[in-house]
A and B are shown apart, each in its own frame.
Chain A
Amino acid sequence: MSWRLILAASLSITGLDAGYGAVRILHDVTLSVAEGETVALLGTNGNGKSTLMKSVMGMVRPSAGSIVATIDGVRHELIGMSTEAIVDLGIGFVPEGRRLFPRLTVTENLLMGAFRKKARPDIQKNIAFCFEVFPRLAERRKQLAGSMSGGEQQMLALARALMSAPRLLLIDEPSVGLAPLLVARTIDKIKELKDSFQLAVLMAEQNFTQAIRIADRGYVIVHGHIEFEGGSAAELNDNDLIRQFYLGA
């Protein structure tokens, strides 16, 4: 089973407290993403999904707990590392609001994604792959990123994160600001990319029905606490707590 070695990337968050200044957002959050898994982090706005993602990426300094990424059998404690060092380990992030470089072209944005030294040898292969998965991007390769539609920008943000050849991919709210049809398409693409790149994925999403289509497992986060952990998509679907807390039904 040599391929297991290739996709050995996992994430383990234990007892995490984090916030901004005096405001504590996350309380004792424990969560894990195993090798090759897609895990959904579900919750409505303002419950701490983005703060959790940003803590993993070193953009928010947690006050307690640990965040350990294991990549190729090497354990890395991420708390205290800079964002760029975390990305350099092979942890990609598609932030909320996409954060593209608006005045660079599509191709230039993709090449920026491959800044990571380990990603550089495979640039041609990865660009060809991105253009194959997102033909729209190939058509618009010379267009400035800032002049594209929201859906196209989301595709570019995903493709740019993949250009860094990540092992673990964090995606914050891929559906936000997209038309319903595009949401379904984006979620499908994430699944497709995850399978081709053999990634482990942690995806924060408010769109419950779309997210659990591709998730292996999920967590529901309410007011900074993990309120429910579903071992399978079906378990999440059948849970009363989710209806009550999350779907408001």
Chain B
Amino acid sequence: MDLSLDLLGNALVSGLLLGGFYAAVTIGVSISFGMLDIVNIAHPAFIILGSYTAYIANSVFGFDPILASIVLLPAFYLLGVAMYHVYDVSFERRGDASIRGLAFFFGILFITEVTLVLVFGVDYRLVDAPYVGPSLHFGVIDLPLRLLVPFLVSMALIGSLQLFMSYTFIGRAIQAVAQDPMALRLMAANPSRIKRIAFGLSIASASIAGAILIIIQPVEPSIARDYIGRIFAICVMGGLGSFSGTVVAAMILGVMESLTSTFYGPSWSPAVAFGFLLITLAVRPSGLFGRS
């Protein structure tokens, strides 16, 4: 009995920490898919790119991976801005963004993945930092720093994005742009510029998400694909465009996966998680925190 209570407590805690990490990998999609209606299926590939840049900074130059990912934010932002520009000119302005846009991002996903394979090979890569090994202990509960630090970084990332979205003019315009681009023009804002900034922020978040991914687990190029389903599931379950919804949905998914793999075995966890997504959408079609 005691043993299973311990297990339960630890499963809950690590599920919450895992959820915090899921929130960080999803937040970029909450911006691009949730706020801009851009199905950026390549987002996980940019997260893996973020993992590899953090890996190089760490293994070659000896930098802290999280610090490196913060320094690299402007580079990822510009990459996002450039990518949105291509997408805007090639698809959105011609009005056939949905299916062709999806194909475009699929292409980006595979090109990024193959490039990473060619450059780094398919070996798993790790980073080294003081918080990768040790754990804190509170009674029977273990708090591995390898999960706790990413959790805190993730919350800081999402908190600052939320402040930006709520309290700046550009942030509010980002929330408004998909609702009515023409009305946004009547507010003296250029929708293309607003979307460009938003998409830049979305890709910038992948730098930090990538760094914390490689802290949590070893990374090789193709694991991007493992995250696509989870990321979009969390985004939809939380309610499109809602950051707090994303965090709550990510935590629920993290806890469900952790509980299922502790008590029933890891192979069941995706089934339980996606089952929960279906139930959520059946009860609340606009997601947990969706504004409808």
Interface residues on A, range: 20 to 34
Q: In the complex, which residues 252-292 of chain B have their Cβ closer than 8 Å to any Cβ of chain A?
A: 291-292
Q: Which residue of B lies closest to A163 (CB)?
A: B187
- Which of B16-24, B101-109, B172-180, B221-229 binds A? B172-180
The reply on A112 being an interface residue by CB < 8 A is yes
Chain B residues within 8 Å of A104, by CB: 172, 175-176, 179
Q: Is the CB of B172 within 8 A of A111?
A: yes
Query: Within the assembled complex, what's the spacing in Å between the Cα atoms of A164 and B169?
Result: 13
List of A residues within 8 angstroms of B179 by Cβ: 101-104
Find the residue from A95, A115, A164 having the highest chain B CB count within 10 A. Answer: A115
Determine how close the nearest CB of chain B comes to the CB of A99; give it in whole angstroms. Answer: 4
Measured CB to CB, the closest approach of chain B to A49, in angstroms, equals 17
CA of A239 to CA of B138, assembled, Å: 88
B292/A93 in contact, CB under 8 A:
no
* A residues in contact with B182, CB < 8 Å: 59, 83, 95, 99
Minimum CB–CB distance from B199 to chain A (whole Å) comes to: 19
Partner among B173, B175, B292 whose Cβ is within 8 Å of the Cβ of A115: B173
Chain B residues 224 to 256 lying within 8 A of chain A, measured CB to CB, are 241
* B188: interface (CB < 8 Å): yes
Closest to A59 in B: B182
A residues near B187, Cβ cutoff 8 Å: 84, 87, 112-113, 115-116, 160, 164
**Complexed CA–CA distance, A104 and B176 (Å):** 7
Interface assignment of B190: CB less than 8 Å from any CB of chain A: yes
Q: Does B114 interact with chain A (Cβ within 8 Å)?
A: no
Binary flags per residue of A87-109, CB closer than 8 Å to B gives 1, else 0 = 11000110100011111100010
Which residues of A sit under 8 angstroms from B292, Cβ to Cβ?
103
Interface centre among B172, B182, B241 (most CB of A within 10 A): B172
A144 at the A/B interface (Cβ < 8 Å)? yes
A82–B182 Cα distance when bound, in Å, is 11
A93–B183 CA distance with the chains assembled, in angstroms: 10
A95–B188 CB distance below 8 A: no
B185 adjacent to chain A (CB < 8 Å): yes
Contact between A164 and B183, CB atoms less than 8 A apart:
no
Task: Select which of B172, B186, B291 is within 8 A of A87 by beta carbon.
Answer: B186
List residues of chain B with CB within 8 A of the CB of A93.
186
**Contact assessment for B169 and A84 in the assembled complex, using a CB-CB cutoff below 8 Å:** no
| Known contacts A99-B183, A101-B180, A104-B179, A88 near B172 by CB under 8 Å | no
Assess the B185–A100 pair: CB atoms within 8 A: no
Alpha-carbon distance A206/B124, docked complex (angstroms): 70
Which residue of chain A is the closest to B187 with respect to CB atoms?
Answer: A115
B189 within 8 A of A: yes
Q: Which residues of B contact A92 (CB under 8 A)?
A: 186
Q: Give B61 Cβ to nearest chain A Cβ, in Å.
A: 41
Q: From known contacts A88-B188, A115-B173, infer whether A101 and B291 are also in contact, taking CB-CB under 8 Å.
A: no
Residues in chain A near residue B180, CB distance under 8 A: 99-101
Considering the complex, give the chain A residue whose CB is closest to the CB of B241: A103
Q: Across the interface, which residues of B come within 8 angstroms of A99, CB to CB?
A: 180, 182-183, 186
* Most chain B CB inside 10 Å of its own CB: which residue of A92, A93, A95, A99: A99
A57 lies within 8 A of chain B by Cβ:
yes
Report A46-104 residues with CB < 8 Å from chain B CB. 57, 59, 82-85, 87-88, 92-93, 95, 99-104
Chain B residues with CB under 8 A of A95 = 182-183, 186
A33 to chain B, nearest CB (A): 19
Question: Would A112 and B185 count as touching, CB distance under 8 A?
Answer: no
B241 cross-chain contacts in A, Cβ below 8 A: 103
Say if the beta carbon of A223 comes within 8 Å of chain B.
no
Q: How far is the CA of A93 from the CA of B184 in the complex (A)?
A: 12
Are B185 and A84 in contact, CB atoms less than 8 angstroms apart?
Answer: yes
Give the residues in chain A near B183, CB-CB below 8 Å: 95, 99-101
Measured between beta carbons, the chain A residues less than 8 angstroms from B184 are: 112
**A160 to B, closest residue via Cβ:** B187
B291 touches A144 (CB 8 A): yes
A112 to B169, CA, bound (A): 7
Q: Say whether A120 faces chain B, with CB atoms less than 8 Å apart.
A: yes
Bound together, the chains give a CA A84 to CA B241 distance in angstroms of 25
Q: When chains A and B are docked, how far (Å) is the Cα of A87 from the Cα of B43?
A: 35
What is the CA–CA distance of A123 and B187 in the complex, to the nearest angstrom?
14
Chain B residues whose C-beta falls within 8 Å of the C-beta of A115 in the assembled complex: 169, 172-173, 187-189
Most chain B CB atoms below 10 A, which of A83, A111, A112, A114: A112
CB-contacts of B124-181 with A (<8 A) = 169, 172-173, 175-176, 179-180
For B193, the closest partner residue in chain A by CB is A84
> For the complex, what is the distance from the CA of A84 to the CA of B188, rounded to whole Å?
4
CB distance from B139 to the nearest CB of A (A): 42
Q: Which residues of chain A have C-beta atoms less than 8 A from B176's C-beta?
A: 101, 104, 108, 112
Some 5 contacts from A to B, beta carbons below 8 A apart, are A87-B188, A102-B179, A115-B172, A115-B173, A144-B291
Interface residues of B (CB under 8 A from A): 169, 172-173, 175-176, 179-180, 182-190, 241, 291-292
Ordered nearest first, which 3 A-B pairs have the shortest CB separation?
A99-B183, A83-B185, A87-B188
